[in-house]
Amino acid sequence: MDVAINADAVHEEDASGRPLLNLAHAFFSAAVVCASLATGALRWAGASPLAVFAVAGAIVVAAALVMRGAPERPSQPKPAGEPPRFFQRVPGWLLLLGGLGAVAYWIENAWQSWGAVHLERTLDAAPAASALGPALFAAAMAAGRVTVHRLARPGSERSVLTLGALVAGGGSALAAVAPSIPVALVGIVLAGAGCSVCAPTIVSLVGRAARPAERGTAVGSATSLMYLGFIVGPAVVGGVAEATMLRISLGGVAILAVLLGVSFFVVRYPTPAVGASSTAASTPSSQGSHHP
């Protein structure tokens, strides 16, 4: 479902010539804020896990019913005789961006999954207070994405990604070593603001670098690769925390974020493909190569 949404957003971005991915992902983060606060309120009221998941399931089913009436976007056919490039060889630039996106998702979901646990077990926060961790993290992500959507200009992807990862590293380090709940929350907010811009910017770069007929395949492949980090990250954080302590494990997340920022600064980004929007084609990254 998430892959399909990202692919449709990239098509809309290309058709309109406007950057839209950060704005689209901002709505995702805003929904996480609402869900985190609602979950904290339900727990505070004594609701069971079954009741919480039942509410979540009902909302998902309702959203599916609403989306049934949405118009389908017609797919763009391949020109006659054009080889299916993605089934012959996965481009190196896609593997590179997908791998960097996996690390970004690793950091993001580490805090989404372990932020509340860190507040409760390390700093003895009450359940209602611990719910502020993922809520503030998601709120910072929503704010960061809206800010980049409004202020960032085409061609600033390298700066946006590098700065975002470094801010996420600083915030992660602060939250990991925080002596009190307020300091930890400040670190979590900084981590969320930094993480916020990484995934949507990478998806946008992938969509612009792929040929129009293969854009959905490229975005789907990159997003699937990125979600490996989303799945593996929290598990690794838990494993390291069990072997050492949660502060050390989350400190490792901070180091990973700094390394990601350095990677964003030094790698070469792919050239926008022929047929991409004029806005995308005018970016300085179009002076690079399709190969990292």
Which of 85-99, 104-118, 184-198, 248-262 bottoms out in mean pLDDT, i.e. has the lowest? 85-99
Burial class, 89, CB count within 10 angstroms (exposed 0-12 / middle 13-18 / buried 19+):
exposed
Residue 112 corresponds to which tokens in the numbers above? 């989404």
CA angle, residues 102, 148, 187, in degrees to nearest 5: 65
pLDDT tens by residue, 109-164: 999 889 999 999 999 988 778 888 888 998 899 899 988 888 877 778 899 999 99
Which of 80-94, 202-216, 225-239, 251-265 bottoms out in mean pLDDT, i.e. has the lowest? 80-94
Kindly list the distances between the CA atom of residue 156 and the CA atoms of 110, 151, 175, in Å, as whole numbers in the listed order: 27, 10, 28
CATH superfamily ID and name for 2-67+92-276? MFS general substrate transporter like domains (1.20.1250.20)
CA angle, residues 199, 201, 203, in degrees to nearest 5: 70
Q: What is the dihedral of CA 37, 43, 44, 47, to 10 degrees?
A: 130
Predicted TM-score (pTM) of the model is 0.76
pLDDT tens by residue, 272-281: 765 555 444 3
pLDDT tens by residue, 1-49: 777 787 788 878 777 777 788 888 888 888 877 887 788 888 888 889 9
Confidence bin at 101 (pLDDT 50/70/90): very high
Cα separation of 238 and 244, whole Å?
A: 10
pLDDT tens by residue, 174-195: 999 999 999 999 999 999 999 9
Report helix, strand and coil shares of the chain as percent, to nearest 5: 75, 0, 25
Is the pLDDT confidence value at 282 over 50? no
